[in-house]
């Protein structure tokens, strides 16, 4: 891997990691049969609104809970009402294949629509750190928690 810019972003052939090798076999930025872009892997560096971020997880809009007579139903409604909103939309963590948005870490954090980001490289972090961050993102995705 090479870093031509000195900014901590590795700009190399994207086939250097398993996740990027998988993406390279797909039609251009498409998930087979679904017609949408695949979210970048954790650790991928992207630009959004003129700033640079590192992908830390995957999100999608959250469906409102179904009302019901149980206390659990009532608590779900309260949590949904209190969840973070952007432009009236609440989000939940999800798996990479389901994502419509990504979370990013940079100077500040971001929640960005996949269609509006531009991938520019891979973060220069130890493999153990990237594995740990990916495990965290997958655990959040499986839990399907609302973004607080």
Instruction: Please report, for the chain, the start and end positions of each structural domain, with discontinuous segments joined by +.
Output: 9-143
Q: Which tokens go with 127?
A: 């493999």
| pLDDT tens for each residue of 30-45 | 433 445 789 999 999 9
As a whole number of angstroms, the distance between CA 71 and CA 115 comes to 39
pLDDT at 52: 97
DSSP state of 63: P
Supply the pLDDT for residue 15. 39
Instruction: Please choose, from the candidates 64, 62, 147, 136, the residue with its C-alpha nearest in 3D space to the C-alpha of residue 109.
Output: 147
Predicted TM-score (pTM) of the model is: 0.72
């Amino acid at each position: 891997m090479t870093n031509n810019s000195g900014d901590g972003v590795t700009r190399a052939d994207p086939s250097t990691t398993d996740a990027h090798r998988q993406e390279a076999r797909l039609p251009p930025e498409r998930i087979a049969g679904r017609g949408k872009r695949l979210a970048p892997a954790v650790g991928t560096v992207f630009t959004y609104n003129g700033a640079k971020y590192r992908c830390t997880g995957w999100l999608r809009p959250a469906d409102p809970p179904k009302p019901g007579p149980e206390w659990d139903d009532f608590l779900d409604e309260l949590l949904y009402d209190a969840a973070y909103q952007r432009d009236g939309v609440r989000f939940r963590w999800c798996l990479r294949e389901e994502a419509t948005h990504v979370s990013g870490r940079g100077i500040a954090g971001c929640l960005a629509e996949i269609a509006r980001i531009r991938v520019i490289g891979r973060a220069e972090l130890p493999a153990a750190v990237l594995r740990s961050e990916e495990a965290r993102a997958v655990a959040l995705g499986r839990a399907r928690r609302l973004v607080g």
